[in-house]
Amino acid sequence: MFKKSYLLTCLVTVFLFLASAVFAAAPSFKGKTIRIIVGYSAGGGYDTYARTISRHMGRHIPGNPAIIVENMTGAGSLISANYIYKIAKPDGLTIGHFNGGLFFNQVLKQPGIEFDTRKFIFLGAAVKEECAIAFSKKSGITSMEKWLAAEKPVKMGGVAPGAYAPDNVIRLLKVALGLPTQLVSGYKGTAKIRLAVESGELAGTTWGWASMRSTWRKPLETGDVVVVLQAVPEPLDGLANVPLAINYAKTDEARLLIEAGIHSPSLFARPFVLPPGTPVPTTQTLRTALTETLKDPEFIAEAKKARLDLEPVTHTQLEKAANSIFKMDSAMVAKLTDILYK
């Protein structure tokens, strides 16, 4: 009897010790402020998702910290990506949200990339970047037939060389499908591009449909902006009658360019990441917080009201997808590099 009681006491003691150790290791963010650094200007899709998440995520973090969003624009969000990797402290107080297409472009040796994708710490993503291609009604490009028949290159807005959407998608579609297109890059974000399209400075552009139908809602509803193509393997919600880009590919090479350069990177195009070296307990806390936020009824209600699509991607899925691009065939890498940077 004594031995059983003694053994039970030992087991309880060990359990309490381990529990207290785990509790002590879990970081508290009480009284602190977390920054989400968005690589694009205010009012665009990345910014809208980040700000919506920021209003709810604090409830799921020990200590209920304040969360603010800061916009760090430039080079298609490359400036912010380099900042998160090289400068931001790995203390859990800085989260990056930039164009994940830059991971893909590391493989293509894009100039200016100062990070290693495989060393970022992934938290997850709220949605995939499944692209729709849209034009203003006044541009005259209201169908694929009219685009293909355009006598002059159609002006489309981009942000910087290497940005998955709009730039990479536009460049790849131009080559793969032979579309008469002129990419006008250098805008600070999709909010600026939208204004340029509406003013007639540009004819159209492309980025994720989940974001587009929220931030460009009214012109889409009135028909002043028309989606003429979607760069995805299967039709997106609400675009059942809009053709798929892959179906216009006339050669195997064209299909491979679309699959490798557009379809595959869409999974990791909108990641939330931490700087390399962030402690494991802090990482786990923030991963759990983001996961719980994306399931939070109040967050979902706000996202639904804003017409923000939600298709969460786990940190594990992001890591797997991002790491897989480093195994790309060398011939395809060379072809993509030629299209996207030359």
Give pLDDT, residue 11: 46
Q: Identify the structural domains of the chain with CATH numbers, from first to last.
A: 33-128+268-329 (3.40.190.150), 131-265 (3.40.190.10)
Residue count of the chain, please give it.
342
Joined tokens for residue 34: 């977390």
Per the CB < 8 A criterion, the answer to whether 202 and 196 are in contact is yes
Q: Residue 311 and residue 211: Cα distance in Å, rounded?
A: 12
State how far the alpha carbon of 133 is from the alpha carbons of 34, 69, 73, 90, 199, in Å.
Answer: 34, 28, 23, 37, 18
Sort 223 into a burial class: Cβ within 10 Å, 0-12 / 13-18 / 19+.
exposed
| 142: nearest Cα among 151, 130, 152, 150 | 150
Kindly report the pTM of this predicted structure: 0.78
**Nearby residues of 178 by Cβ (< 8 Å), 6 or more positions away:** none
Confidence (pLDDT) at 8? 47
* pLDDT tops 80 at residue 14: no
Digit-coded pLDDT (tens) for 243-283 = 999 999 999 999 999 999 999 888 898 999 999 999 999 99
Dist. CA 86–CA 213, nearest whole Å: 34
Residues facing 121 on adjacent strands: 274
Average model confidence (pLDDT) across the chain? 91
> What is the pLDDT averaged over residues 90-99?
97
Roughly what angle, to the nearest 10 degrees, separates helices 169-177 and 330-341?
100
pLDDT score of 322 more than 70: yes
- The pLDDT, as a whole number, for residue 264 is 86
Per-residue pLDDT reduced to its tens digit, 160-169: 888 889 999 9
pLDDT band at 26 (very low <50, low <70, confident <90, very high): low
Sign of the CA dihedral with 226 first, then 231, 237, and 239 last: positive
What's the CA gap between 111 and 189, in Å, rounded?
20
Q: How confident is the model at residue 12 (pLDDT cuts 50, 70, 90)?
A: very low
Q: What is the mean pLDDT of residues 149-161?
A: 95
Q: Are 147 and 219 in contact (CB under 8 A)?
A: no
Q: What is the CA radius of gyration of the chain?
A: 22
